[in-house]
Amino acid sequence: MLLSQKSIRSRFLIQLIIASASLIFIFSSVLYLFIQQSVYDDKKEELLNIAQNVCAYESIQTVKEGSNTVLGLNIEMVMRPDADGSIEFVESTRGERVFLSLIYPFDLNDNSYIKVTENISNTKALLKKILNSIFIINILGFVIIIIYAIALSTMLIRPIKALTNRLSNMNEHLIRPIKTEQLPIEFLPLGETINHLISRLQNFVKYQKELFIGTAHELKTPLAVMKLKNQVTLIKMREPKEYIATIKLNNKTIDEMNKIIADILNIGRQEGAQLERPQKVDVISYLRAKGNDFKLLAENEKKELVMDFKPDLFMATLQPTLLNQIVQNFLQNALKFTESKKVVLLKSFQTETGLCIQVIDEGVGVDESFDHYAPFKRSGNKSGVGLGLFLSKSAADALNAKISIKNRTDGVQGTVASLELASSLSCTLPAAKLHTKRQ
């Protein structure tokens, strides 16, 4: 409804109409009072000039003989014993006629005053016509304001209606980003936010389908192997050790399936983590603690984990669980694909938009044409379910961050896993440190 209490448009219309009506009323009142005062001032000035001329050129005897009528003016002598010699203007009504009188001192020795009276009925009628005209103009102006307010509110909500219609026609099979270049400047942030959500929905729909298909495939294959092994074992009587071997193989397969199920459950836990209340976190302190934990693991595998963190402090508001999911996956993959006696580098540096976290290894590198974020996609010859980067990508989208997996470009074989966080520093850093270059 147009006048619904929850309607922004109705509130805008009501406020605009009330403000405009108040402005019109105040302006019209001031205008009419100004016109009325100007007319009365002119009349008073006219009467005052006449009285001064009479006093200057008319003989006392002529004035004292009685009243005189000159150009519609009535001039008479009055005696005011109790008057203080001041000039007075008096407005009086006789029937339907209105008169304005000036009482002007003539001779203070005998307390005589000149009374100049003018019929201002025509002036009053003119002021009434002016008031009626202003009133009619106000009504017309008020109607025009209502029409303009409705047209303006319609124009303002047109982009919202366009966005609503565009979004209402979308489904999981037809999701397209909004053309932000067609939106007014004020709606650009809204359009960009919607496009970001659409992008997340596209990835979610794409990867969820792949997740369901991959889950079915990953679970169906070991189940088929277990069934076939059991059928072969049951064809004829066998030695106890052969049954034991079959049971051990089944247990191993079950463990692999449990790992798949555990990773799938992690997806549900991560979606729950996205609903956690964001916290203010010192990302550098977190990276330093996480690096120390993995440094012990790297030493146990005869590998070296080097840390290089810049700046010394970086505060960001985010969900720590999601950040942990990404950084932990980066470090696990780096250590998994890096051979013994080689180095993994965990570093951070400030960018123009926030903080970049990188894990650089000396592994086998990656195929950059490969979709590493799809579920159950594995590269290399290492074991794994293939859900780590899928979870990391989902966590990065929830943090409004960006991740990338690329090969090193410094002449050393290996991979660079990057996470770009958008935030603001909690302290002011010197300008020289604002653009730390990658090593």
Does 301 fall in a domain?
A: yes
Q: What are phi and psi of 380, to 5 degrees?
A: 85, -175
Here the CATH number for the domain that contains residue 372 is 3.30.565.10
Give yes or no for a contact between 106 and 112, defined as CB atoms under 8 angstroms apart: yes
Give yes or no for a contact between 270 and 308, defined as CB atoms under 8 angstroms apart: no
Does 161 fall in a domain?
A: no
Does 157 fall in a domain?
A: no
| 220/123 same-domain check | no
Here the CATH number for the domain that contains residue 264 is 1.10.287.130
Helices then strands (H, E): number in the chain?
8, 12
| 203/117 same-domain check | no
| 348/253 same-domain check | no
Give yes or no for a contact between 322 and 271, defined as CB atoms under 8 angstroms apart: no
Does 180 fall in a domain?
A: no
How does pLDDT run along the chain (439 residues), one tens digit per residue?
444 456 777 777 888 888 888 888 899 999 999 999 999 999 999 889 888 888 877 544 444 444 555 556 888 888 888 778 788 898 888 888 899 999 988 877 888 888 888 888 889 999 999 999 999 998 998 888 888 888 888 887 787 777 777 777 766 566 777 777 777 777 778 778 878 777 777 777 776 776 677 667 667 777 887 888 788 888 888 888 888 888 888 888 888 788 777 766 766 665 555 556 788 889 999 999 999 989 888 988 899 999 999 999 998 888 888 898 899 889 988 998 899 989 999 999 998 888 999 999 998 888 877 777 776 666 655 555 567 787 888 888 878 889 999 999 888 899 999 999 986 544 434 433 434 333 3
Does 228 fall in a domain?
A: yes
Does 248 fall in a domain?
A: yes
Q: What's the structural domain count of the chain?
A: 3
> Would you state the pLDDT for residue 286?
92
- The last residue of one of the domains, among 212, 241, 273, is 273
- CB neighbour burial string for 410-421, b if at least 16 within 10 angstroms, e if fewer: eeeebbbbbbbb
| 253/287 same-domain check | no
| 378/283 same-domain check | yes
CA distance 311 to 276: 27
| 101/201 same-domain check | no
Vertex 76: Cα angle to 71 and 80 (nearest 5): 150
| 126/217 same-domain check | no
| 49/104 same-domain check | yes
> Would you state the pLDDT for residue 165?
76
- Unique residue bearing structure tokens 């008031």: 131
Task: For residue 406, give both structure tokens.
Answer: 């690329």
| 423/291 same-domain check | yes
Does 153 fall in a domain?
A: no
- Unique residue bearing structure tokens 């047109």: 158
Residue 403 is which amino acid? I
Does 159 fall in a domain?
A: no
- Residue range of the domain that includes 367: 279-433
| 88/204 same-domain check | no
- HEC per residue, 143-212: HHHHHHHHHHHHHHHHHHHHHHHHHHCCECCECCCCCHHHCCHHHHHHHHHHHHHHHHHHHHHHHHHHHH
Three-state DSSP at 320 gives helix
| 319/352 same-domain check | yes
> Would you state the pLDDT for residue 330?
92
Side-chain half-sphere CA neighbours of 384 within 13 A: 18
- The last residue of one of the domains, among 273, 296, 324, is 273
| 294/419 same-domain check | yes
CA distance 12 to 16: 6
Three-state DSSP at 267 gives helix
Task: For residue 82, give both structure tokens.
Answer: 């109790």
- The last residue of one of the domains, among 233, 253, 273, is 273
